[in-house]
Amino acid sequence: MSGPGRPVVTGVETFPLEALLPDDVYGTAKALGDRRVATLVKVTTSDGVAGWGEAFGPPRRVAPFLAEYGAALLGAPADITEQHILQHLSAGYHHTTGGPHVAALSGLDIALWDARARTFGVPVGALLGGRLRDSVAAYASSGYVTPGRDLGELRAMLAGTAAEGFRAVKIKIGLGPAEDRARTRVAREVFGDDGLVLVDYNSATTAASARRSAARLADLDPYWIEEPVPPHDHDGYRALRAAGLPPVAGGEALYTRYGFRDPIAHGLLDIVQPDLAKCGGFTEAQAIRALAAAWNLRLSPHCWGTGLAQAATLQLLSAVPDVPHGPAGGEPLLFEFDRGTNPLREGVLADPVRPAPGGRAPIPEGPGLGVTVDEEWVRAHRLPDHTVELRA
């Protein structure tokens, strides 16, 4: 329902972006990539406020869903989020609860939260439970797989992130036990005994091979092993958890509270990693956060998008309670700070998110997401054939 003075959505506009990386191909054990992509979403309300969001995934696949869901949003109250997402998931249950359609809903949801917080003149974190911190510990998402898989190249890449002040790093493995150990050893040498070294298989292995690989890493003290098997392999996750390996992280390929329910309830994960730009935005991330808290699990969101996704993730982290460890100690709350080449990451914001001294990430302080989109830049770089412009 809408009422007098209650803002409604009057416009939805998208900015599908793609940056080719012909001279800097990199990726994971599963696949190398020659481009970075994202779709920004701008939602305008009847009171003149504009909110921005980001949808994960190839713009050409996300665009049709944004056109459909954006049209349905026109004229709707701008302060309704959960009903909007759950209604689409319920009516479209044949589509499943994951994929580009949920990524599209995620972008719209983030934009609605941004607009609502800007209407009140507060950061989104203030609406998520209250801002608890001004910065958060960060790990450099680096150590990517390159075509030559050269260890000297890897060492140089990691030395660059260490020089930025990071004290924690995540590297890509899943290339086989021997090579996984060699890559992890390089990371340990660069970051020292006191640094945190996280390893990410990107689901490029089986439970048996992941167990062999992880056993070879034991003396190098990996902080966690991420996505050791595909997200649908619940038995594989269960076997790895029972094997007494380092903490297991996962969730970047899961969508909505429904996708996270069983992995959390069945004890498959130690660290829960929703991605705001695909899991359902702030609305579903809040539900996932509550599920993780109910099972006393750590939350560490996945973030591999533009500066807008970074700002949204930082707003979420600003309001994550200090439970169970308390503010004085325990495991750190961590922000994933991608350091791979991505012209979109810095290009979309007037003032990009930058690492702070001590390996931390500052949480933007302004209203909404706390950042300003460089609208001239995104208009100049968007893919016109896949742009959506809707007006009430």
- Note whether 309 and 233 are same-domain residues: yes
Name the pLDDT band for 330 (thresholds 50, 70, 90): confident
Query: How far apart (Å, rounded) are the C-alpha atoms in residues 8 and 209?
Result: 53
Residue 1 has pLDDT above 60, yes or no: no
Mean pLDDT for 217-236 is 98
- Note whether 186 and 297 are same-domain residues: yes
- Note whether 138 and 29 are same-domain residues: no
Q: What's the full length of the chain, in residues?
A: 392
- Note whether 82 and 151 are same-domain residues: no
- Note whether 27 and 140 are same-domain residues: no
Residue 95 falls in the annotated catalytic set: no
Mean pLDDT for 215-237 is 98
- pLDDT tens, position by position, 76-129: 999 999 999 999 999 999 988 899 999 999 999 999 999 999 999 999 999 999
Query: Could you say which of 302, 325, 381, 386 is catalytic?
Result: 302
- Note whether 80 and 200 are same-domain residues: no
Within-domain flag for 4: no
103: tokens are 């990524």
- Note whether 186 and 261 are same-domain residues: yes
Lowest mean pLDDT among 196-200, 335-339, 356-360: 356-360
- Note whether 107 and 139 are same-domain residues: no
Residue 3 has pLDDT above 60, yes or no: no
Query: How far apart (Å, rounded) are the C-alpha atoms in residues 90 and 194?
Result: 48
- pLDDT tens, position by position, 7-29: 999 999 999 999 999 889 999 99
- pLDDT tens, position by position, 292-324: 999 999 999 999 999 999 999 999 999 999 988
Rounded mean pLDDT of the chain? 96
Q: Which residues contact 89 (CB under 8 A, 6 or more apart)?
A: 97, 102, 105, 256, 258
Query: How far apart (Å, rounded) are the C-alpha atoms in residues 198 and 170?
Result: 4
CATH number at residue 15: 3.30.390.10
Within-domain flag for 367: no
109 φ/ψ sector (left φ>0, alpha ψ -120 to 50, else beta): alpha
- Note whether 163 and 241 are same-domain residues: yes
Q: Which of 301, 309, 304, 303 is nearest to 352 (CA)?
A: 309
Query: How far apart (Å, rounded) are the C-alpha atoms in residues 376 and 142?
Result: 30
Query: How far apart (Å, rounded) are the C-alpha atoms in residues 345 and 299?
Result: 23
- pLDDT tens, position by position, 33-89: 999 999 999 999 999 999 999 999 999 999 999 999 999 999 999 999 999 999 999
Domain count, the chain: 2
Within-domain flag for 194: yes
Within-domain flag for 200: yes
Query: How would you label 31-70 residue by residue, b for 16+ Cβ within 10 Å and e otherwise?
Result: eeeeebbbbbbbbbbbeebbbbbbbbbbbebbbebbbebb
**pLDDT of the residue at 48:** 97
Within-domain flag for 368: no
Q: Which of 300, 294, 322 is nearest to 313 (CA)?
A: 300
Name the pLDDT band for 4 (thresholds 50, 70, 90): low
CATH number at residue 296: 3.20.20.120
- Note whether 28 and 60 are same-domain residues: yes
For residue 92, what are the domain limits? 9-121+375-391
Single-letter amino acid code for the residue at 163? A
Q: Which residues pair with 18 in a beta bridge?
A: 37
Query: How far apart (Å, rounded) are the C-alpha atoms in residues 309 and 306?
Result: 5
Within-domain flag for 269: yes
Query: How far apart (Å, rounded) are the C-alpha atoms in residues 241 and 251?
Result: 15
Instruction: Indicate the DSSP class of residue 196.
Output: E
- Note whether 230 and 258 are same-domain residues: yes
**pLDDT of the residue at 326:** 84
